[in-house]
């Protein structure tokens, strides 16, 4: 298993513990259909100005199989994509869309089980006029994303692992999960209470 594929076994909660708030997209970005599986893949980045979706439509024919297409937009009035765009992306091996914007045809997307994390759904399509370069750094839901960064998304949220830290973060995450798996709830409870009581005592709390 490649290291990027291995990230599909790492919960976003674990990655957030390691990477901190600045690598976690804000809560406006959410899975758009229930029980969506965790996804992981290298970012293919796209910029779409409000009201326009041209470059996302261009990206589905250019992103390598296994990619997560990440879109900077911020628009909630016009859809970036619909059912056919998602279907073609899925057929070409794109793992998911993570979009700071909205899509449409959610019934088709849900039926195809194509993962989309976005702000929501709107029925109005965007225009196709604004040409922007692909795979340039973008800012999606508060996080800077560069092409090749590892994007991991599940029902808890979306985390971006910088490409330069990929191996280090994966090793740390796997070690953390292994340690947690070996710990009983009784042992966790004891360690947790000790930690919390120490913090309270140092703050002058009395009970």
Nearest to 49 by CA among 83, 100, 89, 94: 100
Q: What is the pLDDT along the chain (207 residues), one digit of tens a residue?
A: 578 999 999 999 999 999 999 999 999 999 999 999 999 999 999 999 999 999 999 999 999 999 999 999 989 999 999 999 999 999 999 999 999 999 999 999 999 999 999 999 999 999 999 999 999 999 999 999 999 999 999 999 999 999 999 999 999 999 999 999 999 999 999 999 999 999 999 999 987
138, 69 in Cβ contact below 8 A?
A: no
Q: Residue 207: its pLDDT value, please?
A: 72
What is the β-pairing status of strands 120-121 and 116-118?
Answer: unpaired
The predicted model scores a pTM of: 0.94
Long-range contacts of 129-134 (CB under 8 A, 24+ apart): 129/52, 129/54, 130/48, 130/49, 130/52, 130/54, 130/55, 131/54, 131/55, 132/46, 132/47, 132/48, 132/49, 132/55, 133/47, 134/44, 134/45, 134/46, 134/55, 134/58, 134/59, 134/62
What is the β-pairing status of strands 39-47 and 68-72?
Answer: parallel
Tokens of 148: 């090749």
The tens digit of pLDDT for each residue in 117-141 reads 999 999 999 999 999 999 999 999 9
């Amino acid at each position: 298993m490649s290291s990027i594929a291995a990230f599909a076994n790492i919960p976003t909660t674990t990655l957030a513990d390691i990477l901190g708030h600045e690598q976690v997209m804000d809560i406006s970005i959410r899975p758009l259909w229930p029980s969506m599986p965790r996804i992981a893949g290298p970012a293919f980045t796209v910029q779409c100005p409000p009201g326009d979706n041209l470059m996302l439509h261009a990206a589905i024919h250019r992103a390598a199989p296994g990619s997560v297409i990440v879109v900077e937009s911020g628009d909630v009035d016009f859809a970036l994509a619909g059912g056919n765009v998602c279907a073609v992306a899925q057929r070409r091996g794109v793992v998911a869309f993570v979009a700071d914007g909205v899509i449409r045809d959610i019934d088709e997307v849900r039926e195809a089980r194509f993962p989309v994390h976005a702000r929501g759904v709107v029925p109005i399509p965007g225009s196709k006029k604004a040409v922007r370069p692909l795979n340039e750094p973008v800012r999606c839901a508060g996080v800077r994303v560069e092409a090749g960064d590892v994007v991991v998304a599940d029902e808890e949220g979306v985390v971006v692992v910088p490409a330069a830290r990929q191996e280090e973060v994966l090793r740390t995450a796997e070690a953390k999960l292994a340690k947690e798996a070996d710990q009983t709830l009784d042992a966790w409870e004891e360690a947790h209470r000790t930690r919390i009581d120490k913090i309270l005592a140092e703050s002058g709390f009395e009970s």
